[in-house]
């Protein structure tokens, strides 16, 4: 095989993998990369917001889960990522008194890095909207302004739920 052919194959493989990546991974939100795989992270807590009729799952990466379950959350350690997954609410058809997820709204994340994000209180703030995970890019200040009530607890609303210790 000629060198030209090998180069062409190399270029075409490189291009196709770039295309695959840009096809699949959502664009950055506030210059923060998409935290691929969050759908399988472990849970920190759940909530039901009765002021805007949404149900929420609060999950975390390994650093966050370890911190939450050992009570090391004020401040949260660098490397922790917290995710909040939001659905509109509905009533379960077969048990009307159970409020359950309806349509998916968005997934939003706080990335703890006290140096990198020192201008935004030690956290990177990001959100991806809808099932197609369109990046939110209207500015971290919008996120931060809602979190002012919890500025004294490292800007985090969530109290990690109690779980039995792992055997």
User: Does residue 103 interact with its own copies by CB under 8 A?
Assistant: yes
> Minimum Å distance from CB 157 to its own copies?
6
Q: What is the CA radius of gyration of the chain?
A: 20
The nearest distance, CB 103 to its own copies, in angstroms, is 7
Stretch that binds its own copies, among 2-10, 112-120, 137-145, 158-166 (CB under 8 A): 158-166
What gap in Å lies between CA 81 and CA 95, rounded to an integer?
Answer: 34
CB of 92 to its own copies, least distance (A): 6
Among 33, 48, 116, 138, contact with its own copies (rule: CB under 8 A)? 48
Measure the CA–CA gap between 121 and 72, rounded to whole angstroms: 18
Cβ distance 54 to 87 under 8 Å?
yes
Under the criterion CB under 8 A, does residue 159 sit at the interface with its own copies?
Answer: yes
145 lines the binding site for its own copies (CB under 8 A): no
Site for its own copies in 67-96 (CB under 8 A): 69, 85, 87, 92, 94-95
- The 8-class DSSP code of residue 151 comes to G
Evaluate whether 55 touches 101 at the Cβ level (below 8 Å). Answer: yes
Minimum CB–partner distance for residue 135 and its own copies (Å): 12
Contact 65, 73 (CB under 8 A): no
CB 9 within 8 A of CB 17: no
For residues 70 and 58, the answer to whether their CB atoms sit within 8 Å is: no
Site residues (vs its own copies, CB under 8 A) = 24-26, 34, 36-37, 39-43, 45-51, 55-57, 59, 65, 69, 85, 87, 92, 94-95, 97-101, 103-104, 107, 128, 130-133, 149-150, 153, 157-159, 161-167
């Amino acid at each position: 095989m000629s060198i030209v052919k090998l180069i062409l194959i190399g270029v075409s493989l490189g291009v196709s993998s770039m295309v695959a990546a840009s096809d699949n991974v959502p664009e950055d939100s506030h210059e923060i990369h998409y935290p691929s795989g969050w759908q399988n992270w472990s849970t920190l807590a759940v909530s039901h917001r009765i002021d805007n009729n949404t149900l929420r799952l609060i999950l975390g990466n390994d650093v966050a889960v370890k911190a939450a379950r050992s009570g090391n959350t004020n401040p949260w350690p660098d490397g922790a990522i917290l995710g909040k997954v939001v659905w509109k609410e509905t009533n379960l058809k077969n048990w009307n008194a159970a409020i359950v997820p309806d349509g998916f709204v968005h997934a939003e994340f706080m990335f703890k890095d006290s140096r990198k994000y020192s201008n935004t209180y030690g956290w990177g703030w990001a959100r991806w909207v809808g099932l197609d995970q369109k990046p939110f890019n209207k500015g971290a200040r919008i996120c931060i302004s809602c979190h002012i009530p919890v500025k004294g607890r490292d800007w985090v609303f969530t109290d990690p739920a109690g779980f039995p210790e792992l055997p």
